[in-house]
Amino acid sequence: MRRRSTKQKNHPTFPLKLSELRQMLDSELINSQDLSFTVYKQANKKVAVFYIPYLVDQQKVEQLALQSLLDMQTEWTSDTILSEIPLALGKKDSDISSIIKKVTEGRICIYVEKENEAITYELAKSEKRGIEKAETESIVIGPQIALTESLASNLNVINMRVNIPDLAMERIDVGKRNPKETRMIYIQSIANETDVNTMRQRLSELEVDMIEDIHMLKQYILDSSFSVFPQYVSSELVDRSVYSLKEGKIVVLIEDSPLALIAPSTFFSFFESTEDRYFHWELSTFIRILRFIAAFVTILLTPMYVVATTFHFELIPSQLLVTLGESRAIVPFPPIIEVILLELIIELLREAGARLPTKVGQTIGIVGGVVVGTAAVQAGITSNILIILVTLSALASFSTPNYIMGNTIRLIRFPLIILAAYYGIIGLMFGICLLIIHLIRLQSLGRPYLAPLYPLRLADFNKVFFRLPEQYQGKRFLSYRLKDRRLFNRREATKKKDTY
Amino acid sequence: MQIVKISFIAVVVILLQACLSPSRLEETAIINTRGVDLVEEDGQRFIEATIIPYIFDPEAAESTSLLVGRGTTVKDARTNAEKQSPYPLSPGKINMDFYGEEAAKAGILPFLNTLIRDARVSDRMQLAITTKTAREFLEYKQEITTVNTTEYLQDLTKKEIDLDILPRNTLEYFTRLIRQVGIDPILPILGFHDEKPTITGAALFKEDKYVGEVSLMESFFINQLRKAVNETPLNARVPKENYKDMIAYESEPTEDEEFVYLSLNLSKGKGTIKLDDFDSLSFKADIKMRVELLETSIPMDIKTAETSKRLEKDIEAYYQAEYEKLFEKLQSHNVDSFGLGRKYVATRKGSKTTAKEWYEKYNNATMDFKVNVTIVNYGTID
Amino acid sequence: MKKTIQVPIHNQFRAFYMFFVIFSMQAGVGILGTPRIVFLEAGHDAWISIILTYLYVVILLMIMLYILRQYDNHDILGVQADLFGNFISKVIGTIYLVYFSLQLLSILVTYIEVIKVFVFPKSQSLILGLMLIIPVVYTLLGGLRVTIGVVFIFIFLTYWVLILLIEPLRQIDFLNFLPIMDRGISDIMRGVVANAYTFSGFEILFFIYPFVQGKDRMTKPIILGTSGISLLILLSTTIAIGFLSPDQLQRRIWPLLNLYKIQTSPIIERLDYVVIAEWMMVVLPKAILLMWCISYIAIRMYNFPKKASIYVFSIIILVCIPFFNEHFVIQKLIDSTKYIAYGLVYIYPLFLLPLVVIKKRVQRKKKGKNHANR
């Protein structure tokens, strides 16, 4: 609800008669039909109570404000009302335009006729859902509590978990027309000051109209907007945010978004899941390596198929050659068309599954996967070996814990497939070289994207590529140049002090 | 902005080189097996190439067929054979290469030359000699075997190589030895036995020319001097009279035989050649064999260490005699399959030894074999 | 031209990375053909030549470091300007520029030839050249941080292919090395000379020196870098001599690739194709560093704008590539590069050394006199 503002007529000022006030409100408010404007009388005093019903908590208005107003024994004046009504956050205001603004934000306003000031009470109600289980980042073990759309409850949830005095929650309002409350959260004694300053500067210098979600904010503050790779992790899991804070990263929350943006992030943080830390270290090392292999397979499997069938059949093992040749012989298209066709089908299945309700989505998956796949092979549109390869690489890409990264990996495969089809193994290599150079060029919040691989920090490898037993990880990330790197003393942590 | 520029250039790359013609798997006749023969027609020598390619045609019942072409060079013969094929022939996957007897006797290096020069050809291609012409062999084989033909033959030779009976017959190994001064290569000979393709023996090469044939057993002896061998089935015989006291049971037909035949399994064997005296060219071969006794033609009781020693000694004598016979045979062909020349070249300082020089000296070389056999076990009985 | 160079901190890199810079610069395509080139001169004693070359390179590197350390944050252009004056320094700088350009051209052209022989006989040089130049340009536009990063990461992505030499290594015949020291000293020294092209590349130290952080910790990575690559060259030459027969080795142009032809794996049967493709990642770092040197000299001596220098030299080199598409023309190019390398890389530092020493001594004396006078 916006004020009909631009051409300010000569505002009448307090004191006003109630009818004048009513008239003025009707003319100033766009949605004046929604305004509830009631007049109450006591002896010779008249009081107007006005608010927009769907913005306020009706019950509280009636029970706390109206009830106690009408029960008042003393004479109604601004001062007596303010002192007798059992509500905090009451404010006096004498500027009518600011009162109107407050009403549109969900306050109720009480005006005693012919007084110089009106009183506003904060009784806003915002509809929100309760705290629920994480949906997009599903994990098996560990806390599954997710952030919600309400910034207040998000702040609450995080603050309850990181209960230390130097947890900074800086407020920055982003957006010119409709400023949204954004919180930059970090632990002051750990986080790198340069990073904090960079983030603060990026957020506060943002000249945009309005931001709907954290993903929009993310795109505005990227280091490289032309890159396909996501440069900040966004997570809905509370414990991911908490862990990141502990590691000295900066978490950004914005009003109305159920996700937290975590910066700086590296390429490898997209392959991390909070679950990794809850598993035993051997297991999580295995899973992490599996994920990297999966990403590798996703990127290279189908391009290699194109390479082998289009140019270099020498690469195919002799035993496989006949099978592959015979299944390829019935396919009327060149390998590149065949592969792109099938990859697009898989992408379609994924997209259809994501857009449809869960139950229908599953059906689509089965129908698509089984029926279309079998039919395509029988109709001679694709070779059965390719079906296996495409499914395998799709499966591998879904093992990436971060949804956006998974999609990115699948996307970068297409240019590689095309390069492979045009220049064989050399073209493929050219694509891979460009890709790696691109990754080296990327930065996240001014920190290298490929850390700790480049710049090389061997000390961080146990947090990225494999995991050591938890008590051996007594140091925070070296790559981020944090203020305080020490988590705990390893010798103390590993000592078992069992006396019984 | 750089990314825009670069992607622009990338698009140009893609557009520019649409000219790179693909060699698609299903549109190539991938040569699988090749046979080379020398034939004479109207007084002129021709090279005849017999080619079995994979042709992936959904209409054709068989994915392999046989193409034959003639020409003055191998390449020419191949080009002529290509006329019978719907797709261009590609040498990238030649798994086996056969040479007819005639061709092998004339020297196979010219035929190999195209293969070595072409980088697409696999170095692990196997080479073999056929008893008849390669064409006859391949045609006959194509008729009688229904299984995937080349793979069958490949496995056939590969098995013998795994058992260390034959040295490796890959292109890479053969070409390595062919021009190496002081060692000569060996290739398997394939022929038919009871209408089935079989390895009939091993061909001795003098440089690239096929000069004589040895049995598989002899081929094993040669191999044992080149490298450490193991898990090879062996045969030996010992004179019966030495074991009269040990014979447990004798049946009618074996009574007249002079020898006891033994079946052995070599668990480890190694021979080393030493140049004993540089000037008189006397070599010494020290061969150590550890064997398991599997079977005797006449059941025997080997109870004591002494009898075991006796047995070992007789086996040693047998192998020593075999080795000496083999060396004589090699010298008569003037073929240095043992690789004595390598020792000579490695010891001789100063000027380089040429192959010709060595072959002249080779016939004067003497060799002293010393075989040492240990029987490590007798199975479950003794 | 300023003599001392101020490098902003974000453009510097740790001394540790010098290992990879020297390593990559000495690698490149040379290593593919080295076994044969040395063998032709020194026979089966080639490995001795390689060790001698390595020792010479180490001595040269120490001399170069000594020269550079006499000044504060000078590159070779600054040192020359100090010794001979601006004009002569510019002339020698231009020779360096030409040398680096030839070097870059020769490695690109050689790699393209390898691709043409082994993989795509019908491919076009220009497009292959474009595929090599684009990553070079893309990297250099990212600045020195990206340049060093590419050099560093590509090393890890490529040298695993050496593990694939395990099969030839197992089949080495030690008789091929006997008798040791069969060839005379002159042959071995000729082998050392023949190595010059392969081992060149460490001259980048003269140019990249001002950009290194922690210059006093530099000796170790540099020596280790050159030792590492020399060990690889030695290893590949040893395997090639031990595995191939002398006759084969004399005739194969890139013996190292022949060694890869006998290795197979269950998934990919022909690993030589993979190795040739992987070699792009060996060629690129060297090409990138060479191009960096070229653009650095151009910026420093002729005040080229940075981007323009990269674009201009890339295009010049790209245009030259199609003219070198015959084996013997390429050999000629390599030979001429080699001759410049003899003078510029292997002799010039020796010539500089006494001059620097004398100059510094004279200066010190002057200073001493000034002190005395006062």
Residue B238, H or E segment: strand B232-239
Q: What is the pLDDT at residue B18?
A: 52
Q: Is residue A88 part of a domain?
A: yes
Nearest Cα residue in chain B from A305: B25
Residue A399 sits in the same domain as residue A291? yes
pLDDT of residue B218: 87
Comparing alpha-carbon positions, the chain A residue that sits nearest to C134 is: A434
Q: Is residue B308 part of a domain?
A: yes
Pair (A258, A285) in one structural domain? no
Q: Which amino acid is at A297?
A: V
Q: Which of B190-199, B327-336, C197-206 is predicted with the least confidence, judged by mean pLDDT?
A: B190-199
**Is A303 contained in some domain?**
yes
Q: A290 and A253 in one domain?
A: no
Does domain C9-373 bear CATH number 1.20.1740.10? yes
Q: How confident is the model at residue C247, as a pLDDT?
A: 83
Q: What percent of chain C has pLDDT over 90?
A: 39
The CA distances from residue C191 to A336, A435, C111, C188, in Å, are 49, 40, 23, 5
- Is A455 within the bounds of a domain? no
CB atoms within 10 A of CB B63: 18
Residues A226, A116, single domain; the answer is no
Among A208, A242, A265, where does a domain finish?
Answer: A265
pLDDT the model gives residue C17: 92
Please indicate, yes or no, whether residues B207 and B237 belong to a single structural domain of this protein: no
Q: Please tell me which residue, C35 or C4, carries the higher pLDDT value.
A: C35
Q: How far is CA A239 from CA A273, A275, B122, in A?
A: 11, 10, 56
How far out from the chain centre does Cα B348 lie? 29
Q: What is the dihedral of CA B202, B205, B209, B215, to 10 degrees?
A: -30
B32: nearest CA in chain A?
Answer: A318
Q: Is the pLDDT of residue B39 over 80?
A: yes
DSSP 8-state symbol, A191: S
User: In degrees to the nearest 10, what's the CA dihedral of A425, A426, A429, A433?
Assistant: -170
| Cα gap B341→B260, rounded to integer Å | 37
* CB–CB contact C245 B180 (8 Å): yes
Given CB atoms, is B172 within the 8 Å cutoff of chain C?
Answer: yes
Q: Is A102 in the same domain as A159?
A: no
pLDDT band at B271 (very low <50, low <70, confident <90, very high): confident
In the numeric block, which tokens belong to residue A108? 């109720």
Residue A111 lies in a domain: yes
The verdict on A411 touching C (C-beta cutoff 8 Å) is no
Taking the CA of residue C5 and the nearest CA in chain A, the distance in Å comes to: 24
Separation between Cα atoms, residue C333 and residue C110, nearest integer Å: 10
What is the chain C residue with the closest CA to B177?
C245
Neighbours of A492 (CB within 10 A): 10
Alpha helix segments (H runs only) across A332-402: 335-355, 358-366, 373-379, 384-398
Q: State the pLDDT at residue B51.
A: 87
Residues A217 and A306 in one domain: no
Using pLDDT thresholds of 50, 70 and 90, give the confidence band for residue A2: very low
Distance CA B226, CA B156 (A): 22
CB within 8 Å: A311 and B26: no
B349: containing domain: 226-377
C147 pLDDT tier (thresholds 50, 70, 90): very high
Residue B192 shares a structural domain with residue B255: no
Q: Which residue bears the tokens 């019984």? A: A500
C293-304 mean pLDDT:
90
For residue A448, list chain C residues with Cβ-Cβ distance below 8 A.
145, 149
Q: Report CB contact under 8 Å: B179, C248.
A: yes
Which among C130, C175, C270 has the least Cβ separation from residue B342? C175
pLDDT at residue number A471: 78
3-state secondary structure of C229: helix
Q: Could you say which DSSP state residue A253 is in? A: E
How distant, in Å, are the alpha carbons of A478, C102, C165, C293, C328 from that of C321?
45, 11, 31, 19, 14
Average pLDDT over residues B346-363: 79
* End-of-domain residue from the set B185, B214, B243: B214
Q: Do C127 and B349 touch (CB under 8 A)?
A: no
Q: Write out the two tokens for C249.
A: 């080795």
Contacts of B148 in chain A (CB under 8 A): 322
pLDDT of residue A123: 79
Collect all residues with Cβ–Cβ distance below 8 Å to C321 and sequence separation of at least 6. C105, C108, C109, C112, C125, C126, C128, C129
How many Cβ pairs within 8 Å bridge chains A and C? 88
How confident is the model at residue A428, as a pLDDT? 93
Chain centre to alpha carbon of residue B130: 12
Q: Rounded to whole angstroms, what are the CA distances from C240 to A358, B97, C191, C195, C204?
A: 61, 26, 16, 16, 29
Q: Please report where in the chains the tokens 């005699």 appear, as a residue.
A: B321
**Residues spanned by the domain of A202:** 151-265
* pLDDT of C21 over the 90 cut: yes
Residue A456 clears pLDDT 60, i.e. is over it: yes
Higher-pLDDT residue of C53 and C263 is C53
Q: What's the rounded Cα separation, in Å, for the pair C205 and C67?
A: 11
* Total structural domains within chain B: 2
Domain boundary among B165, B189, B214: B214
The beta-carbon neighbor of C135 closest among A423, A434, A453 is A434
Whether residues B231 and B210 fall in one domain: no
Interface membership of C12 toward A (CB under 8 Å)? no
Q: Are residues B189 and B254 in the same domain?
A: no
pLDDT exceeding 90 applies to what percent of chain B?
0
B62: pLDDT confidence band, cut at 50, 70 and 90? low
- Cβ-Cβ contacts under 8 Å for C366 (sequence gap 6 or more): none
% of residues, chain A, pLDDT over 70: 96
- The confidence score (pLDDT) of residue C64 equals 92
Beta strands A107-112 and A45-51 are: antiparallel
Read off the tokens for B23.
């060699």
Examine the domain organization and report whether B31 and B180 are in the same domain.
yes
Farthest CA pair distance, chain A:
104
Say if B15 is an interface residue toward chain A (CB within 8 Å): no
In this structure, the answer to whether residues A293 and A396 fall within a common structural domain is: yes
A135 within domain boundaries: no
Q: Is the pLDDT of residue B195 over 80?
A: no
Enumerate the residues of chain A whose CB falls inside 8 A of the CB of residue C150.
436-437, 440
Is the pLDDT higher at C228 or at A73?
C228
Do B64 and B171 share a structural domain?
A: yes
B323 and B373 housed in the same domain: yes
**Which of A55, A114, A47, A52 is closest to A85 using CA atoms?**
A47
C201: alpha, beta or left? (left if phi > 0; alpha if psi -120 to 50)? left
- Average pLDDT for residues A231-236, to the nearest whole number? 90
**What's the whole-number mean pLDDT along residues C10-31?**
89
CB B298 within 8 A of CB B240: yes
Q: Is B98 helix (H, G, I), strand (E, B) or coil?
A: strand
Count Cα neighbours of C156 within 13 Å in the Cβ-side half-sphere.
Answer: 8
Q: How distant is the Cα of A314 from the closest Cα of chain B, in angstroms?
A: 6
The answer to whether residue A90 is domain-embedded is yes
Asked whether the predicted pLDDT for residue C19 surpasses 90, the reply is yes
pLDDT for B293 beyond 60: yes
List pLDDT tens digits, range C215-240: 888 899 999 999 999 999 999 999 99
Residue B93, chain A, CB below 8 Å: the answer is yes
Could you give the number of structural domains in chain A? 3
Each residue's pLDDT tens digit, A317-359: 888 888 888 888 888 888 888 899 888 988 888 888 888 877 7
**Does the pLDDT value for residue A14 go beyond 60?**
yes
Residue that finishes a domain, picked among B162, B182, B214: B214
Count of Cβ atoms closer than 10 Å to residue A221 Cβ: 21
Q: Is residue B137 part of a domain?
A: yes
d(CA C183, CA C187): 6
Mean pLDDT of chain A: 85
Q: Is B343 on the interface with C (CB under 8 A)?
A: yes
B112 with B236, same domain: the answer is no
Asked if C161 contacts C272 with a C-beta cutoff of 8 angstroms, the reply is no
A72 inside domain:
yes
What residues of C are in contact with residue A455 (Cβ under 8 Å)? 14, 149
Please report where in the chains the tokens 């250099």 appear, as a residue: C140
| Cβ neighbours for A374, distance < 8 A, ≥ 6 positions apart | none
Domain co-membership, B173 together with B237? no
Q: What is the pLDDT of residue A4?
A: 47
Bridge pairing between strands B44-54 and B209-214? unpaired
Cβ(C149)–Cβ(C289) below 8 Å: no
pLDDT of residue B63: 58
Identify whether B7 is part of a domain. Answer: no
* Contact between residue B342 and residue B180 where contact means Cβ atoms under 8 Å apart: yes
What local confidence, expressed as pLDDT, does residue A12 receive?
A: 67
Chain A hits for C273, Cβ within 8 Å = 312, 314-315, 425
The pLDDT score that the predictor gives to residue C101 is 94
Domain shared by A295 and A437, yes or no: yes
CB atoms within 10 A of CB B130: 28
CA distance B10 to chain C (A): 8
Same domain? For B193 and B254 the reply is no
Compare A7 and A220 and report the one with higher pLDDT.
A220
Q: Would you say residue A465 lies in a domain?
A: no
Quote the pLDDT of residue C120: 86
Q: Are residues A284 and A336 in the same domain?
A: yes
Q: Among A71-80, B241-250, B269-278, which is the least confidently predicted range?
A: B241-250
Q: How far apart are CA C249 and CA C257, in angstroms?
A: 12
| pLDDT tens column, B147-165 | 566 778 888 888 888 888 8
Average pLDDT, chain B: 82
For CA atoms B333, B338, B344, B346, the dihedral sign is: positive
Q: What is the mean pLDDT of residues C82-107?
A: 91
Report CA-CA distances (Å) from A497 to A268, A387, A470, A491: 36, 57, 17, 12
Domain boundaries, chain C: 9-373
pLDDT tens digits for A160-203?
888 888 899 999 988 888 888 899 999 998 898 999 999 999 99
Residue C38: pLDDT over 80: yes
Question: Is C186 a residue whose pLDDT tops 60?
Answer: yes
Model confidence at A7, in pLDDT bands (50, 70, 90)? Answer: very low
Same domain, B150 and B74: yes
Three-point CA angle A302, B119, B227, nearest 5°: 105
Q: Which residues are within 8 A (CB) of B53 and not within 5 positions of it... i.e. 6 or more apart? A: B29, B30, B31, B32, B64, B65, B67, B85, B89
> What pLDDT is stored for residue C152 in this prediction?
93
Distance of alpha carbon A217 from its chain centroid, rounded? 10
Instruction: State whether C119 and A424 contact (CB < 8 Å).
Output: yes
Let me know whether B301 and B249 are in one domain: yes
**B56 inside 8 A of chain A by CB:** yes
